[in-house]
Amino acid sequence: MMLAIQLYDIKLRYKPGKTIPIVDILSRLHLVDTDTELQVDMEILVHSVLQTVPIPSQRLAQIRQETTKDETLNSLMETIQVG
């Protein structure tokens, strides 16, 4: 392989992904999740866990409230929901 390449005068230049519009768009494109069956299954799983694990409603409300204040958890939720 190296011998075959030596026949050419190759000059490599770095190009950031931002300067390659098609490749950059395709590499960062997130597909919209159309799998509603998976979403329904996840909701069922979450609700079944909430029903089987005894968490007082006040504690659950506190967890929800504190979760909305946490930037990392908000970012995680957005990534999970939007992609």
Say how far apart CA 12 and CA 5 lie, in whole Å: 13
Question: What percent of the chain shows pLDDT beyond 70?
Answer: 75
- Stated pTM of the model: 0.35
Reported as a pLDDT band with limits 50, 70 and 90, residue 53 is confident
Alpha carbon 74 to its chain centroid, in Å, reads 12
Say how far apart CA 45 and CA 48 lie, in whole Å: 5
Among the residues of the chain, which ranges form H helices? 2-5, 21-28, 36-52, 57-69, 71-82
- pLDDT, mean over the chain: 78
Reported as a pLDDT band with limits 50, 70 and 90, residue 29 is low
Say how far apart CA 66 and CA 30 lie, in whole Å: 29
Higher-confidence residue of 82 and 20: namely 82
